[in-house]
Amino acid sequence: MGAIVLLPLGVDDTALDRCLAALDRSTPAGTAVWLADDAQAGPRAQDVIAHWLAQTPLQAEYTRRARPLGEVAHLDEMLQACQGLDVAVLAPDSEPAPGWLAHLHACFERDAAVATATPWSNAGQSAAWPRLGEVNPRPAQLDALAAACAGLPPRHPELPAAETHAVLVRGNARRRAGRLDVDSYAGWTAALIDLSLRMAGLGWRNVLCETAFVARAGEGITAPGDMEALATRWPAWTARLAGMLMRDPLHETRQSLQQRYQQTIMPASQGELFAAAALLPPEPSA
């Protein structure tokens, strides 16, 4: 069985609409997708979900709690329901590019020591492209960028921790590391980072899947106090992240992706120029 895509819902119905449309375009038909609502989605978002459920080719389910449980406890409940299975946690304001899930799966198959695989993102901090550690604009041509990513050599360099615009989490590693820490963190972003660091402490790897891309509307917002709690518990992670942002070990890989992306979109641009030139009236003869 393939991974289950977990989508913990938020309050932004416009971003959710874009996310669900991107899921349909980029994910194989029949993929299991679980939209879990911790009593957050408003009436318009529920209409968006109902319309999407009626026409999506994915094997999708929607659940809604009568009362909020809390971000971390809610995602932990989802993970426990998928015990032993690989899960792809997807932020509700993300836009997966074509092939994203297949490439994350391939990353797991290449290296059994990988606990989490994170794709590139325009707002991915240590997995950010084209500029590391920045919130870059959403790429204009996601299909072309996905093709460019797919052409990169799959080396899967290690990241300081998982990033949470999208991350595939191995079920076996999750079972050994335990549940999310519902007591120390208010938001699921920090709780997932904490889980990935616990898995790394057990000898697993958190890696970049450079052959996949998931766009995001903006930088993920962490709950107040969560980053301080992470830094206190994991001071080595804070130092590794800072060192990565300063040394930029992925510079060459990001440059290579930039070149491939430009080469991918260039023929289309040139074709548009030739088509436009063909529509011009002929110049009068002398």
- pLDDT at residue 276 tops 90: no
The residue among 179, 168, 182, 69 whose CA lies nearest residue 116 is: 168
Tokens of 33: 């997708």
- pLDDT at residue 275 tops 50: no
For the domain made up of 4-218+225-273, give the CATH fold: Spore Coat Polysaccharide Biosynthesis Protein SpsA; Chain A (3.90.550)
Do strands 94-96 and 205-216 pair parallel, antiparallel, or not at all (unpaired)? antiparallel
Confirm if 237 and 206 have CB atoms less than 8 A apart: no
Burial class, 62, CB count within 10 angstroms (exposed 0-12 / middle 13-18 / buried 19+): middle
The residue among 104, 94, 114 whose CA lies nearest residue 8 is: 94
CA distance 65 to 48: 18
Average pLDDT over residues 264-277: 58
Query: pLDDT tens for residues 71-104?
Result: 999 999 999 999 889 999 999 999 999 999 999 9
Query: pLDDT tens for residues 213-236?
Result: 999 988 778 899 999 999 999 999
Quote the radius of gyration of the chain (alpha carbons, Å).
Answer: 20
Q: What is the DSSP letter of 219?
A: P
Amino acid at 177: A
